[in-house]
Structures are given as structure tokens and as C-alpha cells.
């Protein structure tokens, strides 16, 4: 099976109306083919981006809660995202896990509810530096994925984003071999714990200081099916990253 290359741009808490207009214009004028592109602006700009962005580029929320509505000040539900024409959401990002103390179980509940609502989910996993140095990389990643698999049977609308925490925003990047090794381990885990078909079909993308200079070599790894890009998604080089596999 050929898995379609997938590139996500996580804008995080960055941007202004002017910046958003510049980024939308850059993407609307970009040329790419046979790549699935999804960008995740701050919630305040989701509607504007979805309205102004070309229809061949999808838009994602950066987070969503695990209930439909209620007294949850500051939260956004998957139903609200769908209502605004948003078809994807990023869940379990290390910043949500670390800064906002989201547990594996909370992330899993969010993933299940988002899927039940019909959203595609970019489900993030990854280890901290001390965990990698202690040889715990796969143990941490498998624990995070198991929490999801305990609640979810159908992985057809999940893209797994492996993001080593030590490489996010630090300028450090996992070597292509390091990324390939973890992606291969994830695919083996999927085969053993979900199904061989899910392992073959599920896209596993890499995130962690991806930029225009390192994207081509990373894209050459057989189990790297794309990228989740942070800071570089706010720059013109994002177009080069989108086209890394071409």
C-alpha cells in the first residue's frame, strides 16, 4: 500500500490577522500534488482560515475537549469544529501533555470523542530527553498509544505524529535513522495491538524542528509518511517541506 504523504502545519499560539492573511496567501499560491496538507491556526482564526484557504488544504483545530457542550469555559468541542467546516484536530501534543498536564487517559478520551464526531485526528506521541537517554523511548510511546487503543478500534482516521519532545522547538532533530527506527517500532506495535491492516495503512509522521534543510532526507525514510511542522510552518520554507517527497 502507498500511504499518501501528509504534512501538517501547527501554528501554535502565533499570528495576527496580518500574519494569517500572509500565510493563507502563501499556501494558496503554492504548487503541490499528491500531498495531503492540513494547517492548524489558533482557534480564533479557524473560521477565517477555512473561508479564505483553498479547498484542497484542510484546516485543523489545535485541541478539542471530550464532551459536546456544557460549562467548560475556554474549551472547544469537536462538534463546534465540525460546525465551522473544520475536519481535523491535533490531540495529545507534548505541550498539552506537559504544560496543561493532560494525561494519557484524557488524550485518549479526546481522540475517541473527536473520531466519534467525524473528525480526523493527528494523535501525538513522544518521549522527553531523559526518557530517551534512559532507553525508554518505545515504552513511553507505546504507553501513550495503548491508552488510545483501549478506547478506539478504528484507526482509519488517525494520523500518528511521533514528536520527540527533546526535538520540539529546540533546533535538535532526530536523525533520519532515529526517526525511522521509532516509526518502524510504532508500525510493529500497531500490527501486534491493532491489526496488520491498520499498521500498513496508518500514516506515521515526524515532528520536531523539521525545516527546509532536513525535510528531504527525513522524507526518504520508508516509514516516515510526512511531518507535523511547528515554527517552519509560519515561514515560506513550509512549501518546500510540503514538497519534500516529490
As annotated, the active-site residues are 93, 163
226, 6 contact by CB (below 8 A):
yes
Which DSSP string corresponds to 119-167?
-EEEEEE---HHHHHTT-HHHHHHHHHHHHHTT----TTEEEEE--GGG
C-alpha cell at 62: 489545535
If DSSP codes are grouped into helix, strand and coil, which group holds residue 242? helix
Nearest one of 245, 185, 178 to 209, comparing CA atoms? 178
Q: Is the dihedral of CA 73, 86, 155, 11 positive or negative?
A: negative
DSSP 220: T
4: which 3 cell numbers? 499518501
Would you report the helix, strand and coil content of the chain in percent, each value rounded to 5? 45, 15, 40
Give phi and psi for 134, each to the nearest 5: -90, 5
Amino acid at each position: 500500500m502507498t500511504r499518501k504523504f501528509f504534512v501538517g502545519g501547527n501554528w501554535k499560539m502565533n499570528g495576527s490577522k496580518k500574519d494569517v492573511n500572509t500565510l493563507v496567501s502563501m499556501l494558496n499560491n503554492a504548487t503541490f500534488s499528491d500531498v495531503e496538507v492540513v494547517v492548524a491556526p489558533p482557534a480564533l482564526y479557524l473560521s477565517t482560515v477555512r473561508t479564505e484557504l483553498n479547498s484542497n488544504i484542510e484546516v485543523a483545530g489545535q485541541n478539542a475537549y471530550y464532551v459536546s457542550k456544557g460549562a467548560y469555559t475556554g474549551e472547544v468541542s469537536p462538534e463546534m469544529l465540525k460546525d465551522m467546516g473544520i475536519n481535523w484536530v491535533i490531540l495529545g501534543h507534548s505541550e498539552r501533555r506537559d504544560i496543561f498536564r493532560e494525561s494519557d487517559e484524557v488524550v485518549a478520551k479526546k481522540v475517541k470523542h473527536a473520531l466519534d464526531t467525524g473528525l480526523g485526528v493527528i494523535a501525538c506521541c513522544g518521549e522527553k530527553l531523559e526518557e530517551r537517554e534512559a532507553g525508554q523511548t518505545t515504552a513511553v510511546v507505546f504507553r501513550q498509544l495503548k491508552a488510545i487503543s483501549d478506547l478506539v478500534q478504528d484507526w482509519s482516521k488517525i494520523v500518528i505524529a511521533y514528536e520527540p519532545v527533546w526535538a520540539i522547538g529546540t533546533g535538535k532533530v532526530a536523525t533520519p535513522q532515529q526517526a525511522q527506527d521509532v516509526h518502524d517500532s510504532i508500525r510493529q506495535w500497531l500490527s501486534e495491538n491493532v491489526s496488520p491492516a491498520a499498521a500498513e495503512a496508518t500514516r506515521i509522521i515526524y515532528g520536531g524542528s523539521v525545516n527546509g534543510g532536513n525535510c528531504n532526507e527525513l522524507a526518504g525514510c520508508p516509514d516516515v509518511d510526512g511531518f507535523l511542522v511547528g515554527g517552519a510552518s509560519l515561514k515560506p520554507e513550509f512549501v518546500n517541506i510540503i514538497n519534500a517527497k516529490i
